[in-house]
Structure 1
């Protein structure tokens, strides 16, 4: 079946935010004497699961509430508002090419609506998407497929008509569970388990070459 919709993750796919996000996050944790292991960092990629954060905060010598930590993070800043950001090379032209062909595009991310809207406005990309589903619009985080299913419902799209471009194992699993064809994007430079994806690409130029036969 021809693909009529392309849905993108945000962090690590639209913008290379992963390292910057980690630095801000770890800076906030360090204020409470909490330091991440490599396993911790891997578990955090692509998800906003609050239970993971609760477990991390339990390591503090003095009790830290989620509200206290959230306030500390606001004080320190974030990638979306405070760092230089730009779309991945070749992404904007790829999206514009999709849209010229009548393909509808969207974002499904675990990041909050406020930060995603700020980032998209800073990059002048708001007009490039037909639907945007953020973490605070869902009751379940990736790897649950809820976000992708919600986007498909808004677009009136069948799962088999959708291509999803993801970079993390939890995001890939969410998209596969939703029934989409999944492209693992490896251009952010962070190595992750992409074994569940249908294909993998290292750039958006390669992505265009690999999926152009699926686009009517």
Structure 2
């Protein structure tokens, strides 16, 4: 892990959604396992880890190939919609301390945004359910991009809309794919480890275990 820089002029903070804004990973895995089980497919922990932070149809196609009968991606997605999802059908709430952290940053003039691989419909639904839409200046979702994380396209798009230089941005990510995307976009990356799921965060600049710790470590980096 790289050393802490004492003072930087950071004016923007961008957040991943899953595992950072909301602890969705376990619930998402539950719904995915249920859908795959309908086709006789068992999801392993390793396979679940390969999906974190990504929206890669080729990985899903590989999982579907394990079925004893041919399953199209369309058939599987129809089954997923039938079963439900975390964002619309489960109890969701922001990570402890997140809302107060964002509000404090915004009081200081920091602009905030979300860059996620999850679809627009689900993210907007979840944010509305938590009354958090007004806390973000930009929201970039997976279906707004032609390339998914670890490609930096989503972060570069958010920076362009905000008029932000990469050197002015802090990104909070929890997955290796997300961290790599943010670093490739030129941002300073804080790995958020508060979801309780251990992932490879070695490419991040710093790590934080909670938003209280995040506030303590990041306050010296902004403005």
Normalising by structure 1, what TM-score?
0.99
User: Match of 1:124?
Assistant: 131
Q: Of 140, 147, 162, which residue of structure 2 is paired with 1:140? A: 147
Residue by residue over 1:22-64, the C-alpha shift from the partner in whole angstroms, topping out at 9 and shown as x without a partner, is 0000110010011122221110111111110011111111111
User: Match of 1:180?
Assistant: 187
Residue by residue over 1:72-109, the C-alpha shift from the partner in whole angstroms, topping out at 9 and shown as x without a partner, is 00110000011000000000001001111111000000
1:79 aligns with 2:111: no
Runs of 4+ in 1 over 4 A off after TM superposition: none
Distance across 1 between alignment mates of 2:124 and 2:43: 29
Distance across 2 between alignment mates of 1:39 and 1:17: 17
User: Match of 1:35?
Assistant: 42
Deviation of the 1:215 alpha carbon: 1.1
- Unaligned runs of at least 5 residues, structure 1: none
Bigger shift: residues 88-97 or 35-44: 35-44
Residues 109-120 of structure 1 mapped to structure 2, 5 A cutoff: 109-120=116-127
- Unaligned runs of at least 5 residues, structure 2: 1-7
Distance across 2 between alignment mates of 1:71 and 1:37: 22
Distance across 2 between alignment mates of 1:139 and 1:192: 25
User: Match of 2:214?
Assistant: 207
Normalising by structure 2, what TM-score?
0.96
